[in-house]
Structure 1
């Protein structure tokens, strides 16, 4: 369905929208999200008649905070913006017995219904009911949520406390209903990973630079709850999925814990494909303390002042085996007497200056002093290389192409330190004002042992998060909440080696702008290279969040109005090539270690004569900024005692990122034949690569003076204009100022007791696009590259250049007539539209009693304007000419190479059925079992992908910019079938339990207090795509699948779809790791003689002499793409059981000791990894899986709680 059309059709569903917008305008816009919940209900007598004027008292049992309200004329009461906590409730009315409910648990963002039925009698009598099973089903709102409380996070066997990945609770989310995790990413109710906003105490903590996983979570022991909202979130939320983490605060009694968790490879198992078990000895330790602020004889903070603090440390001392291929000691001195190269028939070294033979030794006078300085980074061989045909090579000899000859154990320790501090303060005699704040700091550095004799690098991961809130209960029915917070993430590398000083000491010409610490890149066929590029880097993300909301109860309406602002900054590095400003020097473009000048690439290096070289001129880092502005209004309307209606509107304005220094540019492809480069005028015009623009036949290479009107390759000159001249804002793309997102839903209790409920709704949601998309525009025309090809000058019999010169003449950077070869990498559609999701759902739930509940839900969604990576510079379909033989002028934009553009024209569709059965903790048993059938389709993956796509789409190019349907199919992320069951069972044996309730303490210490926990996951495989690798075939004639052309322009080089063979199943008989896909189910488009395992070169074209480029297929294209499409086969599924066993020792009433052992994949079931499945139909090993997912991994721990 078209989202905009749907909005038009649905306008009649929002009769109060105008009123909401008027009220909305009264709210001060302030980006954070709510961290509270609500408790609502009805007070009735034994006949079901409403009881108005009843006094309802709500008490926070941990903090002692008391709130009071009165039931309305309709018997309704509401407690809005209540902290997620445990509560007792009392209801009193004249002529009735007092009614109370104890043990109510309110979760974050939950609307909990608690109805009170009063009995005529004396107020001295009390009717008490248990609130433990209240809320087993959702009866008030259409939203589908799932919540893990602190016990779930700590007790389920997720083994994230001492894992090599750190201690983030992100590892626990894969065990939550509605979540599908895959390769470090996860989907909430079918929403793609970047469609989820993640907050801690209301403040977002998404990585700005990549829109990736959150940068920081508090310690698991600081977490009060994790709530996932994936369906029909209310208007206060913009993204379709929300991950809301709330932290613990202090209480009226002191609580604390100390813990130690340990993982050791001795209790782990090998994984298929990894014959060596990784050595792991990891420990996590820490402690926490919370309670009232008490200063003896000075201040008693019970009921009003609370604190909470924790510390968690992680230590992983580890080493890895580094392997490298290094030259022998003799080779480094120029002696190649013990050098051989079977693949290139080495017969001695050639003097490049005379053409005579040097034999096997380079005269010392010819050795480059610059090359000699690089040799300090090369150790001598310490291990005999293994010959492919058997035998070994002594460390004094070198045989090209054999196994590494240098091994070393390199220390790569990892550790982390984390601190969380929180304080809560209530003001006023009746605690009407609450001020709280929490600060979290997480430092997770790791050491990366570089290859060769090079200093190790420290990977920096440093993050912090602050949340502060002021809540004011103006009246019982009117509450204002203000929230401010920030998230900061510092990620990069730090290396102590002075690469700048080293490079300056080499004496290279032209390498002058070395403003950051780096190292040159030297490249050989097989000999390892020292680390290159930036040795020190620092990416910094900052998010500042401001929000304000007003909750107002008026009769049967619970209104909420609010606004929020998010301000982002992203400071990070950019680059063009490996060495960038420090240079790239290639010594073996011939391949097989053959050197252009001496016959051996390493010998060419010793002479200082590269085969080709390049360097870039990057002048600064990215300094991006953006802000977002959101307003919303919503109402929870108790239309009847059994019908609740939720409706609301949300407005969003997102101007987009810009760089403070103007270090970015964009392309407008609406200008025929040339396109148009747009640069920002803020803060000033910034074009540093006029030669790049000149080689694209720019009209004005400085963006100001029109100095060129030439027609080249049949195309006029290309305009270069400022954003003001193009009518674009400083984000260099148009911005939607009319983003209105409606929400409507209801919950109808089918029976008076509320045991049956049907819930449904519809909503429009925005998808937050972060700095990853903006990053595409940076450094495009503000950075320049110079490339040089070396060769022997036939007149002088000399190389064109040798060190210290890094090039000859002006190179390609000075070539203003090399039209049609430069790439623009990358642009964003100037009519870019943030992704938008329309979502609808229908749910039926039933409370079975005794803490049991069941749910059946249908969820559907359609997302439009998803990003898609595409090459705008393409050819039309053809059956008469191969793209390989087409001239520059045949392309859409003749004077450009690849034009990588991120357009927002892709779509996704999701439909699912979800069935859930659960049981709240009662009598020692808790479980949740969820089965999901889902169908997810999209066309934003590109021609192929094997994982969840990011905000910029898949990693491969789309097949063709003019037909998005070619890549529409099953997406690889959400699985078709997914079954997840979690359980915690306290064995009913021991003192105070069903069996042995009065057993002696000594016996209870042995047989009592045992707890068993399990997580079981079964899911079908990801949908994946067999292809022919890019650079082989081009049946369409568009150039989509080619890597080169005869004329010299660069085609797209995208993977290509095969044809399907009718009637042949893609599943082979005896399907397994050695043959997962039947290759006979596919064919090479246009070539009936193709057999699996050989190249498919349909449309590869003709050489200049008229001979076919390839014998594997017809030279001419067939004017179409392969018909197999995206997601045509399923990868291997997953079956995994995690189990934990814990023993609780009750030392006394306050102190408990818990000892536990837990295992992921406890049965060590082999789960094959689709990422190691060969999907290239031209390969002889197509369909073979070479590795599996993780084997059994264990964790033991002990903790003392009080």
Structure 2
């Protein structure tokens, strides 16, 4: 006994420092005799029905037994003590991290007498934990109609999940994971896993690495609130995909799904049906290599999509305006910087060569459009480009039962992804790219039964993602359009590209700047140790992960130009006329595109106790220790701006034109380089390492620019079954969940001086962007900073629920779920001029007005986007869930009534008033107040027992579907003024037009809003307008034939958006825009999918 105790203490000490998620579950219960007396010392046998692997779990002094770390699968629980009849419970489905309670009452008799009870297949009542969790089982994975056959759609079916983008085909091709918000968390807070290993791109936290094929999935386990301490890294939902495995019986199949636009409807905004050819085909096979010992599962799947993207609306200047004819506009056109009208509002003879080049860009963009209306109005252009996509995935899994104490499984998964994206940076399609990403991943897991009550699970995993982006046409080149303006530096990659251009009232277009290469490697090891001691089940664990990602900073080397009438001392009164004359508001340019060699190491641990106090009450108590080590660059080429280091006495002098006065002050005032400087053996990777500018900036910032934290996250849960019939469970709990910040908060710091020069000039002409001033005298363009004391974002979530089993296989749960987000990230411009300074400057005569850069508090810089961790959110919800998973009809239904309020909906939110985040407090952009979701599958029993030939045609039909109804998002109304864009004024009247008067061009009442006067901020609140809601009805009809005794053929037809409802989205809420109040997009129209499967 001392030896066993010593072993336990040693292992607890060794491993008590987390496993990301479980592919295993546990079965527990109590043995009593017919009088109700507990039965200690009985050996309970827990048998995997697929592999015949057996685990023995003895009952303790209270008659309780626990079998932990059981692989997911179907089990039999059997007890046959001397003097009693053998009792067995068969067909018990154990899901990932499932906790099945199987109580057995033994009757007097002998072991040759046996009582076998087949378990019901429905969702089990939870009487052992307080978490809010759902399992999407094999039947749902196989039978529900999934648009794009993307498993992530399954995660949107749970209570509390708001669907933010219903275009599932786009989600499939983008690999995005942020199109749903669960329980008031941001979309990037969800944690995706495959077999317990992380499946997220650490750079964005919003892109999956492996999109596991639907036919390779056994189940999807989703946890949403106050789950145990063994889960971490992200504060949102934990979504774990469990892959299929082999067993003692061979099983497998082949599949082909196809779609063709001939069967589809036209998108509301498309002039014609977009092209669609969708082919999804593959095979899978699993079974024994050696019965009861060695098993395999393998498969391949291909997706070939030839489609036109969803329609994109844009605003182009009219053909007449591109030639300089503005006679159709209302109001006057003035000679630049004056109040003298231009005769006939014509720029004839005044357009510059670069103005003609800009016009040529819009001419080319018109030629690429699906439709164009030559009228000066918003959204006069529609694009619908080809968006081809190729994807291949292969999987191989081997399960090996070494002996009764040791088992092992290894899994290989590889995705090969290839996409043509016509406009990856938004705006007009000037820089289409080819995105390629091969991603292999590996996992090896070993389970060791040290003792019947002491189980260890060790897992190692590695994923490599070699993403590349390549330009795929000539629309990005300067010479294509005839640009002649002299660049400030003319250096850096792709310096022969077009500039990034924004023009008030016109859709912007990007420059060829993007992440060109971003190889991402994550290697992790984790270990779990489970110890059953009396009524306690203790678990401790450790996780160590190492991540490596090399990525360029995406600096703009070709120039970024903004044309605006607001604050432009050379304006004509029309921003596009300014562009034709070359009179910009701001011009910025970088001299290179640095590369960061980013790394981080994560080391987490947890301890968890599940205490089964008695048959009625269980407690879960846990602590998770999470490290928040920042992402850093190994070559120390990141720079931070630290406000406390900025010395006003050393500030440069900026004249009225926004140019630094030569010889004044310290241009690097407030900057601090990472670490101890660029290592001497790494200067080849940082060409500017030896420059005078680098030497002028002190080193000494933390390597990741902020210090990081190690935090403790407590978890508590309870489950109380108040009645002896075990059909009611009252559950609740509380937990703190921390987010690991994504790399995107760190990567932009590459683009800060002194390792790169990015300068900005204001109120000049494109023919000479610097106006003759030296580049060294231009204020630095926008830089990104990080609060040195950045906190790890976290949520406090809590719930109280009541579950009840009802007759006929129904289970109902009603829950209150709350979620408080604290220290959430946002990105205010801390160098924005104060409101009072802007108002006072606007009141001056034009000749005396200062540029924006002159008014900024930190002189010598333009915008400083500071990553702060001071935002909050508050979510409260009523969630009702019901399910029936027995018999011919299986269904789930959920209703969520919730509200989520915040002062920042995303980590990149830049508020109007950076000094007062409360001014931005209101409904989150992902708030969907009412959500109703239902799924159903019905095995039509007609003709099932017929014995005549008609049975083959009339029997075997199945009908299934997914319905979703949710209210729309909330929008704020803004308006452009002479001191910039800001929230507008509400001036009275209905916000929305009456139902019968609403159209896609006038959804809002334009008379209800106006731009706010310069002397104060607008009086409209955040989220004053609620946009259109969402209604989806997807169905599937299937017919199954028995080809032989073992082989089955399934034919199916799926219809998505059956009612062909135009689900409008996107709302123009700029009260001073020509297209104010208009709907800008609609979700996919009805489309049809046909499928054929061979299964055995």
TM bucket, shorter chain? 0.7 to 0.9
CA displacement 1:419-461 (0-9 Å, x = unmatched) = 1111111112x2x211111111111212357999999852213
Give the corresponding residue for 2:299: 310
| Residue 653 of structure 1: aligned partner | 627
| Pairing of 1:262-273 with structure 2 (within 5 A) | 262-273=258-269
Match of residue 396, structure 2, among 405, 417, 421: 421
Distance 1:930 1:641 in 2: 29
Give distance in 2, aligned partners of 1:500 and 1:847: 62
The answer to whether the Cα contact below 8 Å between 1:257 and 1:1199 also exists between their aligned partners in 2 is yes
Which has the larger Rg? Answer: 1
Normalized against structure 1, the TM-score is what?
A: 0.75
CA distance in 2, matches of 1:880, 1:496: 43
Superposed CA offset, 1:120-158 (max 9, x none): 112111111121247522121001111112221121112
Q: Which among 1031, 1039, 1043 is matched to residue 1135 of structure 1? A: 1031
**After superposition, what is the alpha-carbon deviation per residue over 1:708-757, rounded to whole angstroms, capped at 9, x for unaligned?**
xxxxxxxxxxxx5322xxxx4211213223x1111111111111221111
Q: Which residue of 1 aligns with 2:995?
A: 1070
User: Against the structure 1 CA distance between its residues 485 and 664, is the aligned structure 2 distance closer, same or farther, given a 3 Å change threshold?
Assistant: same
Q: Describe the shift of the 1:933–1:381 C-alpha distance in structure 2 as closer, same or farther (beyond 3 A).
A: closer
Q: Where do residues 717-1116 of structure 1 align in structure 2 (5 Å cutoff)? A: 720-723=697-700, 728-737=701-710, 739-781=711-753, 782-785=755-758, 811=774, 813-815=775-777, 821-874=779-832, 878=836, 882=840, 884=842, 892-920=857-885, 922-941=886-905, 949=906, 952-954=907-909, 957-991=910-944, 997-1000=945-948, 1002-1025=949-972, 1027-1029=973-975, 1031-1032=976-977, 1042-1043=979-980, 1053=981, 1055-1059=982-986, 1066-1070=991-995, 1073-1074=998-999, 1092=1008, 1095-1096=1011-1012, 1098-1099=1013-1014
Q: Distance in 1 between matches of 2:707 and 2:894?
A: 43
1:1174 to 1037, 1055, 1068: 1068
8 Å contact kept, 2:561–2:584: no
Aligned residue number for residue 1105 of structure 1: none
CA distance in 1, matches of 2:822, 2:797: 12
Q: Distance in 2 between matches of 1:1198 and 1:493?
A: 35
Relative to structure 1, the CA distance from residue 1078 to residue 1060 in structure 2 (aligned partners, 3 Å threshold; closer, same or farther) is farther
Please report how far the alpha carbon of residue 1066 of structure 1 lies from its aligned counterpart in structure 2 after TM superposition.
3.6
Residues 19-418 of structure 1: pairs in structure 2 closer than 5 A: 25-27=13-15, 29=17, 32-133=20-121, 135-161=123-149, 168-183=150-165, 185-238=179-232, 239-240=234-235, 241-293=237-289, 301-318=290-307, 341-343=324-326, 388=374, 413-418=388-393
Q: Is the 8 A contact 1:37 1:108 kept in 2?
A: yes
Distance in 1 of aligned mates of 2:588 and 2:730: 66
The answer to whether the Cα contact below 8 Å between 1:918 and 1:927 also exists between their aligned partners in 2 is yes
Equivalent in the alignment of 2:1094: 1200
**In the TM superposition, what is the alpha-carbon distance from 1:1188 to its structure 2 partner?**
2.6
Cα distance change, pair 123–113 in 1 and its aligned pair in 2 (3 A): same
Q: Secondary structure at the match of 2:230?
A: coil
Deviation, structure 1 residue 194: 2.1
Give deviations 1:276-325, integer Å, cap 9, x for gaps.
221111110000011111xxxxxxx1111111111101112346899999
SS at match of 1:640: coil
Q: How many residues align?
A: 1007
Of the candidates 398, 417, 420, which is equivalent to residue 447 of structure 1? 420
> Partner of 2:655 in structure 1?
none
Per the TM alignment, residue 775 of structure 1 is displaced from its structure 2 partner at its CA by 2.0
Structure 1 position 963, deviation (Å): 2.0
User: Distance in 2 between the 1:542 and 1:41 partners?
Assistant: 43
What CA deviation, in whole Å up to 9, does each residue of 1:587-615 have, x standing for no partner?
9998999999xx977xx9xxxx9999875
Alpha carbons of 1:1142 and 1:914: their partners in 2 closer, same or farther (altered >3 Å)?
same
**Contact in 2 for aligned 1:1013/1:1141 (Cα 8 Å):** yes
Q: Does the C-alpha gap of structure 1 residues 380 and 216 become closer, same or farther in structure 2, counting only changes over 3 Å?
A: closer
Contact conserved, 1:563 with 1:629, CA < 8 A, in 2? yes
CA distance in 2, matches of 1:452, 1:645: 56
| In 1, Cα distance between equivalents of 2:368 and 2:255 | 44
2:526 to 547, 550, 553: 547
Match of 1:537 in 2: 516
Q: Contact 1:744 / 1:762 at 8 angstroms: preserved in 2? A: yes
In structure 2, relative to structure 1, the CA distance for the partners of 1:424 and 1:1136 (3 Å cut) is same
TM-aligned CA deviation for residue 898 of structure 1: 2.3
| Rounded Cα–Cα distance in structure 2 between residues aligned with 1:638 and 1:383 | 66
Q: CA RMSD in A?
A: 4.6
CA contact (8 A) 1:208 1:569 kept: no
What is the CA–CA distance in structure 1 between the aligned matches of 2:118 and 2:964, rounded to whole Å? 33
Match of residue 1158 from structure 1: 1054
Deviation of the 1:479 alpha carbon: 0.8
Contact 1:575–1:618 under 8 Å retained in 2: no
Partner of 1:882: helix, strand, or coil?
helix
- CA, structure 1 residues 749+1191, in 2 after alignment: closer, same or farther (shift >3 Å)? same
Shift of 1:27: 1.3
Task: Quickly say closer, same or farther: Cα 1:380–1:416, change in 2 above 3 A.
Answer: closer
User: Cα deviation per residue 1:1075-1101 (whole Å; 9 max; x = unaligned)?
Assistant: 899967x9xxxxxxxx646544x12xx
Q: Distance in 1 between matches of 2:587 and 2:458?
A: 57
Name whichever of 439-448 and 863-872 sits farther off.
Answer: 439-448
SS in structure 2 at match of 1:985: strand
User: 1:1024 and 1:530 mapped to 2: Cα distance?
Assistant: 24
Contact (CA 8 Å) 1:1066, 1:1078: kept in 2 or not?
no
**Distance of aligned partners of 1:380 and 1:246 in 2 relative to their CA distance in 1, 3 Å threshold:** closer
- Give the C-alpha shift of residue 536 in structure 1: 8.8
- The alignment partner of 1:153 has SS state of helix
Residues 521 and 529 in structure 1, CA contact (< 8 A), matched pair in contact too: no
What is the Cα deviation at residue 842 of structure 1?
0.7
Q: Which residue of 1 aligns with 2:343?
A: none
- CA deviations over 1:895-935 (Å, ceiling 9, x no partner): 43322212111001111111111112x22111111111111
CA distance in 1: counterparts of 2:375 and 2:708, whole angstroms: 63
Distance 1:120 1:770 in 2: 61
Equivalent position of 1:624 in the other structure:
598
Say which is worse superposed, 277-286 or 527-536, in terms of deviation.
Answer: 527-536
> Displacement of 1:228 after TM fit?
0.8
Unmatched segments (≥5 aa) in structure 1 = 1-19, 162-167, 294-300, 346-359, 391-399, 694-699, 706-719, 793-798, 942-948, 992-996, 1034-1041, 1044-1052, 1083-1090, 1100-1116
How far residue 1135 of structure 1 moved from its aligned partner, in angstroms, is 2.1
Query: Is this contact kept in 2: 1:523–1:586, CA < 8 A?
Result: no
- Return the alpha-carbon distance in structure 2 between the equivalents of residues 965 and 454 of structure 1: 38
Distance between the aligned counterparts of 1:848 and 1:115, measured in 2? Answer: 19
1:838-864 superposed Cα distances (whole Å, 9 cap, x missing partner) = 111111111124421111111112110
2:722 & 2:968 partners in 1: Cα distance?
Answer: 38
2:1074 counterpart of 1:1188: no
Q: Which of 418, 438, 456 is 2:411 aligned to?
A: 438
Q: Which runs of 5+ in 2 are unaligned?
A: 1-7, 166-170, 172-178, 329-346, 649-668, 844-848
